[in-house]
Structure 1
Amino acid sequence: MDESRESMESERPRVPEDRTLDARSLRGLAHPLRIRLLNALRRGGPATASQLAAKLGESSGATSYHLRQLATHGFVEDAPERGKGRERWWKAVHAGVRFDDALLRDRDPQVRGAADLFLHEIANNHTQEIATWLGTGSDWSEDWRRASDMSDWTLRLTPEAAEELVHKMHDLVESYRAQASEASAPDTEQVRLHTHVFPVRTE
């Protein structure tokens, strides 16, 4: 499971691509506001607690507290190059995280609970992003509306074939990452891609 592998805009400093979650780091991240804060820093670049509070509709006290918790677990860090005066700027340490399904089977029920919360928050985030696109699509150019996609398929596959399909899809997306990091055309924008592969029972 790949939570968010957003490409940083070309002028932003390069950061390590991914961090694999373990039981401790998962417990530090598995909170709705912390996930939103981390996503905001990855996609929007360094920001202060006040800026993030305004963006997310939260109090600056709440964003400050949860940013410190994210820092304790190594997800965010100070951005001193942006600091001016007394305001503290934060930036994401990694471009994304990787989720290990073994966390759902951990012997510690707290870890399993954190894993479940994390996955449901990611699913909620995907739903909100699609809803936002549907509600604001008319604000974008005809080229971008034509380039968007919302499709689904039903296939009959073995677990091995499904895993192969997932890897091939990820490899295809990765092949565009290099292009994205070098993109300089005036119509270049961040693009979100969601993939969901899961079995369903039929009657």
Structure 2
Amino acid sequence: MQSKVQLTDPRALRAYAHPTRMALSGLLRREGPLTATRAAELTGESVASCSYHLRILAKYGLVEEADPAGPGREKPWRATAQFTDWPTYSEDPAVAAAAEALTLAVAENYFHRMTRALETRGELPREWKEVEQFSDRTLYLTPDELKMLSERMTALVAEFDDRGADPSRRPEGARRVPILQVAYVAPEAEPPVGGDGRPEPGEEES
């Protein structure tokens, strides 16, 4: 499996911006080759739906058949790369619009997954509750400084990347922990604090 697949075709960007396809892509990266039937069991989608979405992902190089000779829906599929990348800026309006739509879809997917985790957080042992993170910090940075900070954070997290593809590298007690790296330029004028007393961004920490 290669490290990264780059999406630049607006059609591929729009195709990937679908919750089921993002879920299937992530599932194949974590669990390895899966049939449409097994993917349906793990996602709650129908076998026909998974089969259709897997073919769309294959069309744009995000997944491939692990065994082309396999029978119908029982043929296994695998991810082609560990990560998906797309432009954060483009002179092409079609690419820019499709990339922005995909970024929004991914952000919504992050929020949905995090909300589900928070809803079941009560089931976690104390040792995990005490180390989970839910905080933010506002910094004043130049573009070069933000790039440097992002590269340093990425390098730190990458030290544990090999555990994703190789379960034998996971120490006893390790669990799947999504790490979100999000940095955005805040609008010049922040909206006022509402009557519900919610703090401005940068004031939350737990």
Same fold? TM cut 0.5: yes
Residue aligning to 1:41 = 28
Amino acid at match of 1:132: R
Contact 1:45 1:91 in 2 (8 A): yes
- The counterpart of 1:167, out of the listed 151, 159, 171, is 151
Amino acid at match of 2:119: G
1:35 is displaced (CA, Å) by: 1.7
Residue aligning to 2:76 = 89
CA RMSD in angstroms, aligned pairs only: 2.5
Say which one has the larger Rg. Answer: 2
1:95 is displaced (CA, Å) by: 0.6
Q: Quick one: structure 1 residues 179 and 63, their matched pair in 2 at CA, closer, same or farther if it must change by over 3 Å? A: closer
Deviating beyond 4 angstroms after TM superposition, the runs of 4 or more aligned structure 1 residues are 83-86, 178-182
Note the 1:42-121 alignment, pairs <5 A: 42-80=29-67, 87-103=74-90, 105-108=91-94, 111-121=95-105
Residue aligning to 1:6 = none
Contact 2:24 2:54 in 1 (8 A): yes
Q: Quick one: structure 1 residues 68 and 185, their matched pair in 2 at CA, closer, same or farther if it must change by over 3 Å? A: same
Contact 2:17 2:106 in 1 (8 A): no
2-structure distance, mates of 1:102, 1:116: 9
Q: Quick one: structure 1 residues 117 and 107, their matched pair in 2 at CA, closer, same or farther if it must change by over 3 Å? A: closer
Determine helix, strand or coil for the equivalent of 2:78: strand
1:48 is displaced (CA, Å) by: 1.9
Residue aligning to 2:204 = none
Identify unmatched segments of 5+ residues in structure 1. Answer: 1-14
Contact 2:17 2:101 in 1 (8 A): yes
Asked if residue 190 in structure 1 is aligned to residue 176 in structure 2, the reply is yes
TM-score by length of 2: 0.78
User: C-alpha offsets along residues 35-80 of structure 1, whole Å, 9 cap, x if unaligned?
Assistant: 2221121123222222323333322222211111111221111233
2-structure distance, mates of 1:121, 1:195: 16
Amino acid at match of 1:37: L
2-structure distance, mates of 1:31, 1:85: 24
Residue aligning to 1:137 = 121
Determine helix, strand or coil for the equivalent of 2:93: coil
Structure with greater helix share of residues: 1
Determine helix, strand or coil for the equivalent of 1:19: strand
2-structure distance, mates of 1:52, 1:71: 15
- The counterpart of 2:110, out of the listed 126, 130, 133, is 126
Contact 1:30 1:115 in 2 (8 A): no
1:131 is displaced (CA, Å) by: 1.0
1:150 is displaced (CA, Å) by: 1.2
Which has the higher relative contact order, 1 or 2, with Cα contacts under 8 A spaced 6 or more apart? 1
Asked if residue 20 in structure 1 is aligned to residue 6 in structure 2, the reply is yes
2-structure distance, mates of 1:199, 1:185: 37
2-structure distance, mates of 1:64, 1:138: 35
1:28 is displaced (CA, Å) by: 4.0
Identify unmatched segments of 5+ residues in structure 2. Answer: 190-206
